[in-house]
Amino acid sequence: MAELNYGLSELALEIRSMMREFAQTRVKPVRAELDEKGIFPIDLLRELGKMDLMGLYIPEAYGGTFDGDSLPNIIAVEELSRVCIGVSVSFAANGLGSDPILIGGNEEQKKKYLPAIARGEKLAAYALTEPNAGSDAGSIRTTAVKKGDKYVLNGTKQWITNGGEADVYCVFAVTDKNRGARGVSCFIVEKGTPGFSFGKKENKMGIRASATRELIFEDCEVPAENLIGREGTGFIWAMKTFDVSRPGIAAQAIGLAQGALDEAVSYAKVRQQFGRPVIANQGLSWMLAEMATKIEAARALTYATVRTIDSGAKDYSKFSAMCKMYASDMAMEVTTNAVQVLGGYGYMKEYPVEKMMRDAKILQIYEGTNQIQRDIIGLALNKEYAGAAKA
Amino acid sequence: MHIVVCLKQVPNTTQVKINPETNTLVRDGVESIMNPFDENALEMALQLKEAHPGTRVTALTMGPPQAADILKEAVGRGADDVLLLCDRAVAGSDTLATSYAISCAVRSLGSPDLVLFGKQAIDGDTAQVGPGVADWLGIPCVACVRKCEIAADGKTATVERVSEDAYDVVEAPLPCALTVVKEANVPRMASLRGKMAARKLAIEPTTAAATGADPALLGLAASPTHVVRIFSPPAKTGGAKWEGLEPAEAAQKLVAELKNRKLV
């Protein structure tokens, strides 16, 4: 297949081929069952750990293989997503859950938690959302009150990916309710800590292999050393995490859409109507052409954003938001069209595209709805053109 | 414990076609792979290594220089050492001469506790080399093994040997040889660090002479088996096909026909 030259490193190409084989041989045969029964893919994640693929974003000093290039991890997410984003979100949520430690954690915290996560022996989760704090993440109500050398956590987190399955949770809680977003702090909470329990597992439209649960904190005592950074810096870690994690959502979208295109083109070539394959119909081949073009455009935007982040750029929130928004809107459109290309068969569970279409919807919602992404981009434009208006 | 796993590079037979004029395999453009049963043998070795810390796994193959590829694959999955027996003197060896050459290579590695093979290779399908090597080495061999446990004292192996409708539990003293069936395990995929290590590995071929093999027992001249003719059997023709019948009706008709021909 012809490919654009993205100047991928040898490592990135190696990981792409490993993940492609893994997705085809290990994930594809079980994805329908994982989806149907809502089974968390713990065996697949453990196997990825043994293959050294769970620590692609973790520096070598903490047991991973990250060498300053984030594309290998992005491409791993993309390849896994090409087959199942229920599995790929369970994989990628470890990065999301580890990022606050990577970005804001001290040496002891990094040494204590990251190596086991890199080996795939422990899973991580990121806990920000609450029943009344979604897009308005600054309005969270979970509290953390200092008591001697401990913090006492109370509150409920909602829709936490890898909830119940993860061993290490980065939990955001209010330490000073008078300071709004600046009164939020981030804590590492280990599974099994007294006072920390799980609510119901959600029954979802898509990404059904992934575990989405409530986290409940009832007088849960966390050692003060588990505070990430200083008190009041939590919101900074939360937002910085999103800036680096949003290209990962874009990667999921690109992989998912690519998988849907793979199915749609293959089907259109063999499905005969009126005595010829349906791909010979211009109306349908133009649909496929647009799907393929939009996928490549999203990939180019995402890879360029990742390279910009890796280059040490300070201001990249706008681009992270752009690639997340564009790629996920694209994935919704492409998967919907893939179902259309397969017609009645596409609507049936015997074919994978109906799952892909159900799965795609979440990409427009989680890690900041696409409306929030547009807000971020709009805000950046407003700021960037502040001087221009005067000139 | 030291485990030697003997591997063979084979053409991916799912891609192989036979030239109908010459009756030989068309190997052009066909990828070479590790013999699938050997993957199970390697996996068994690696699982034993995980269960018995301090165990060393050596991957061994006999073949042309490019057979080093499967040794690299083995290192990628976790093998510690490799041996590539690559020598014109072994060219044309049948299973007897091959078994001898491999037995010499195994012996040159010291005295391994366990020598593992795939049940058979998917190209030749003889299933003779594993037992043959064991015979040359003078050690017991259990064929068609799906499970292997090594006693804590490291002196015996307890294995499950499968047959068509049952399995035997067999105890064998170490050192011994086992040939491994597909149902034994699901072979792991290579790890990233393993692949990186394998890429850096420079594999030096070993000659038969270096393993102490007697040249008179190697190669075509020492091979009593001769391939007289290879052909693909003609496709079956004739037969009858009944279509459009209800299942019950078809069954009745079939039974009547079988009775008619006195087959039931």
- Cβ contact, residue pair B189, A22, below 8 Å: yes
Which of the two residues, B202 and B240, has the higher pLDDT score? Answer: B202
Q: Are A208 and A199 in contact (CB under 8 A)?
A: no
Contacts A14 to B, Cβ<8 Å: 192, 195
Task: Please report, as a single letter, which amino acid is at residue B243.
Answer: E
User: What is the predicted pLDDT for the residue at A138?
Assistant: 83
- Cβ contact, residue pair B191, A14, below 8 Å: no
The β-bridge relationship of strands B205-206 and B81-85 is parallel
- A43 in reach of chain B (CB within 8 A): no
User: What is the predicted pLDDT for the residue at A213?
Assistant: 97
- A383 in reach of chain B (CB within 8 A): no
Task: Give the Cα-Cα-Cα angle B130, B220, B22 (nearest 5 degrees).
Answer: 95
User: What is the predicted pLDDT for the residue at A88?
Assistant: 98
Give the residue numbers of A annotated as catalytic, written as ranges: 367
- Cβ contact, residue pair A65, B193, below 8 Å: yes
pLDDT tens figures, A17-26: 999 999 999 9
pLDDT tens figures, A224-275: 999 999 999 999 999 989 888 999 999 999 999 999 999 999 999 999 999 9
Which of the two residues, B23 and B55, has the higher pLDDT score? Answer: B55
Residue B242: which pLDDT band, with cuts at 50, 70 and 90?
Answer: confident
Mean per-residue pLDDT over chain B, rounded: 93
User: Taking each helix axis from N to C terminus, what angle separates A42-50 and A85-104, rounded to the nearest 10 degrees?
Assistant: 60
Contacts B194 to A, Cβ<8 Å: 52
Residue B243, pLDDT > 90, answer: no
C-beta atoms surrounding A350 within 10 Å? 9
In chain A, list all ranges with CATH 2.40.110.10.
125-234
pLDDT tens figures, B68-97: 999 999 999 999 999 999 999 999 899 999
User: What is the predicted pLDDT for the residue at A162?
Assistant: 97
Residue A391: which pLDDT band, with cuts at 50, 70 and 90?
Answer: low
- Percent of chain A whose pLDDT exceeds 70: 99
Superfamily of domain A10-123: Acyl-CoA dehydrogenase/oxidase, N-terminal domain (1.10.540.10)
Least confident of A81-90, A149-158, A202-211, B28-37: B28-37
In chain A, list all ranges with CATH 1.20.140.10.
235-384
C-beta atoms surrounding B166 within 10 Å? 7
Average pLDDT over residues B168-180: 97
- A276 in reach of chain B (CB within 8 A): no
CA of A308: how far to CAs of A70, A79, A143, A374, in Å? Answer: 10, 21, 36, 20
Q: What is the pTM of this model?
A: 0.89
Sequence-distant (6+) residues with CB within 8 A of A7 are: none
ipTM score: 0.88
User: What is the predicted pLDDT for the residue at B83?
Assistant: 98
pLDDT tens figures, A91-134: 999 999 999 999 999 999 999 999 999 999 999 999 999 999 98
Smallest Cα–Cα separation from B190: which of A12, A91, A64, A52? A52
Distance CA A108, CA A380 (A): 36
- Cβ contact, residue pair B191, A50, below 8 Å: yes
- Cβ contact, residue pair B192, A51, below 8 Å: yes
Residue A306, pLDDT > 70, answer: yes
Torsion, Cα of A92, A98, A100, A102 (10° steps): -120
Average pLDDT over residues B41-64: 97
Contacts A52 to B, Cβ<8 Å: 191-194
Distance CA B48, CA B151 (A): 11
Sequence-distant (6+) residues with CB within 8 A of A64 are: A55, A56, A57, A58, A114, A118
Arch. (CATH architecture) of A235-384: Up-down Bundle (1.20)
Pick among B39, B46, B72, B189 to test the A interface (most A CBs inside 10 A): B189
User: What is the predicted pLDDT for the residue at B202?
Assistant: 93
- Cβ contact, residue pair A50, B195, below 8 Å: no
Which of the two residues, A138 and B145, has the higher pLDDT score? Answer: B145
User: CB pairs below 8 Å between A and B: how many?
Assistant: 27
Backbone angles phi, psi at A351, to 5 degrees: -110, 145
Domain boundaries, chain B: 2-222
DSSP state of B189: P
Residue B216: which pLDDT band, with cuts at 50, 70 and 90?
Answer: very high
pLDDT tens figures, B97-139: 999 999 999 999 999 999 999 999 998 889 999 999 999 999 9
In chain A, list all ranges with CATH 1.10.540.10.
10-123
Domain B2-222, what fold?
Rossmann fold (3.40.50)
User: What is the predicted pLDDT for the residue at A316?
Assistant: 93
Average pLDDT over residues A297-320: 96
Smallest Cα–Cα separation from A341: which of A274, A280, A292, A288? A288
Mean per-residue pLDDT over chain A, rounded: 96
Superfamily of domain A125-234: Butyryl-CoA Dehydrogenase, subunit A, domain 2 (2.40.110.10)
Nearest CB neighbour to B192, from listed A21, A26, A65: A65
